């Protein structure tokens, strides 16, 4: 892979096609003069470049964010594989260009101009909990709906959160036989598992959120610490989560963790509590995948 320095780029800029390989919204904010845009994260990247640069012998220089980001190198690999014979990479990317106070085009809006702030209510229509229960021979999976909750953020930092699960909405997605599906749901709702008639809701309350400084986009950026109440039993619970701003008015969050149901009085089929279960054993841990969407409270005032 051929790389070029910032000095070489300045001398070649007029004679080569310069490609900004980050997403379109980033390109609109800021890009090098004369650059064209084809996002390497899109599957149509090679065909988009073919429209912009039909001659595969042309000189093409690709650049991205710079630093440790693999965007430009990946773009060069894809173009070489597509038959382009004169591709160079400017590894310093837009960050090195900016550090040298060289001119940029675009709106120049800050990439992180949106700082979450205030109270965000849970969107119960789009938020969901996905569950997976297992035994030695099989597993079942399904969903639960949320009935309420909120997230508090100050200066872009998560302060607290809580969400309430409507246990009456428990559903199984993998059993297509309606009779067996209904039988499983009745079993999950009864006292062997979640005693839904007596305890129709479950709730998690986060009273402390520890930022994870080594996080990268798409990996957990907080560890949430708080309590989970299920079947009327409250136990401490901590788990990693991703909390991010979708835009100025919306936050999204996701987390995956294992919940030990036996700590909340759901003892059915536990190999730790019963002997000679054989095929009747049920794993103590239930896997939960949370997907939370919230909106700023000022949107409904």
Return the structure tokens found at 265.
């009085």
* pLDDT tens string 266-293: 999 999 999 999 989 999 999 999 999 9
Residue 34: CB atoms within 10 A of its CB come to 11
Bridge-based pairing state of the strands 17-20 and 60-63 = parallel
135, 269: one domain? yes
Mean pLDDT computed over 6-26: 93
The per-residue pLDDT for 133 is 96
- 59 and 123 in a single domain? The answer is no
Residue where a domain stops, chosen among 64, 99, 134: 99
Q: Mean pLDDT, to the nearest integer, of 210-217?
A: 89
One domain for residues 38 and 169: no
81, 162: one domain: no
**Are 269 and 139 within one domain?**
yes
* CA angle, residues 148, 290, 252, in degrees to nearest 5: 75
**Do 136 and 274 sit in the same domain of this protein?**
yes
- How big is the CA angle at 73 (ends 66 and 46), to the nearest 5 degrees? 120
Q: Do residues 79 and 49 touch, judged by C-beta distance below 8 A?
A: yes
| 274 token code pair | 């019963």
Q: Looking at the domain assignment, is residue 112 inside a domain?
A: no
Task: Look up the CATH number of the domain holding residue 15.
Answer: 3.40.250.10
Determine the 3-state secondary structure of 241 from DSSP. strand
106 occurs within a structural domain: no
Q: Is residue 110 domain-resident?
A: no
Q: What is the CATH number of the domain that holds 292?
A: 2.40.128.110
**pLDDT tens track for 144-176:** 999 999 999 988 889 999 999 999 999 999 999
Instruction: Name the pTM for this structure.
Output: 0.74
At 216, the pLDDT band (50, 70, 90 cuts) reads confident
Q: Is the pLDDT of residue 299 over 70?
A: no
CA distance 256 to 241: 7
pLDDT higher than threshold 60 for residue 112: no
Specify whether the CB–CB gap between 138 and 171 falls below 8 A: no
Per the domain annotation, does 105 fall within a domain?
A: no
What is the extent of the structural domain holding 223? 118-300
For the chain, the domain total comes to: 2
Name the maximum alpha-carbon separation found in the chain.
78
> What's the pLDDT tens digit per position in 17-53?
999 999 999 999 999 999 999 999 999 999 999 999 9
39 assigned to some structural domain: yes
Could you tell me where the DSSP H helices lie in the chain?
Answer: 6-12, 24-29, 45-52, 71-81, 93-99, 178-189
What does residue 23 show for φ and ψ, rounded to 5 degrees?
Answer: -60, 160
């Amino acid at each position: 892979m051929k790389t070029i320095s910032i000095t070489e780029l300045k001398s070649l800029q007029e004679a080569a096609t310069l490609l900004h390989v980050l997403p379109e919204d980033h390109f609109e904010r800021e890009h090098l003069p004369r650059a064209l845009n084809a996002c390497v994260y899109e599957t149509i990247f090679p065909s988009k470049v073919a429209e912009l640069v039909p001659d595969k012998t042309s000189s093409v220089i690709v650049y991205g964010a710079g630093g440790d980001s693999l965007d430009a190198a990946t773009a060069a690999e894809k173009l070489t594989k597509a038959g382009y014979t004169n591709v160079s990479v400017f590894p310093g990317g837009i960050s090195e260009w900016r550090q040298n106070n060289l001119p940029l085009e675009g709106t120049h809006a800050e990439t992180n101009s949106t700082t979450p702030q205030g109270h965000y209510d849970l969107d119960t229509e789009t938020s969901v909990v996905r569950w997976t229960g297992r035994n030695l021979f099989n597993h079942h999976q399904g969903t639960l709906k949320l009935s309420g909750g909120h997230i508090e953020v100050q200066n872009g930092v998560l302060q607290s959160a809580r969400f309430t699960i409507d246990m009456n909405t428990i559903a199984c997605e993998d059993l297509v036989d309606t009779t067996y599906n209904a039988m499983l749901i009745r079993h999950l709702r009864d006292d062997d598992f979640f005693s839904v008639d007596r305890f129709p809701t479950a709730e998690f309350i986060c009273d402390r959120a520890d930022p994870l400084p080594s996080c990268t986009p798409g990996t957990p950026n907080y560890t949430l610490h708080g309590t989970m109440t299920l079947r009327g039993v409250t136990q401490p619970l901590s788990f990693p989560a991703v909390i991010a701003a979708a835009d100025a008015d919306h936050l999204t969050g996701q987390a995956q963790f294992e919940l030990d149901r036996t700590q909340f009085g759901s003892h059915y089929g536990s190999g730790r509590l019963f002997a000679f279960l054989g095929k009747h054993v049920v794993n103590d841990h239930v896997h939960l995948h949370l997907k939370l969407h919230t909106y700023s409270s000022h949107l409904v005032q």
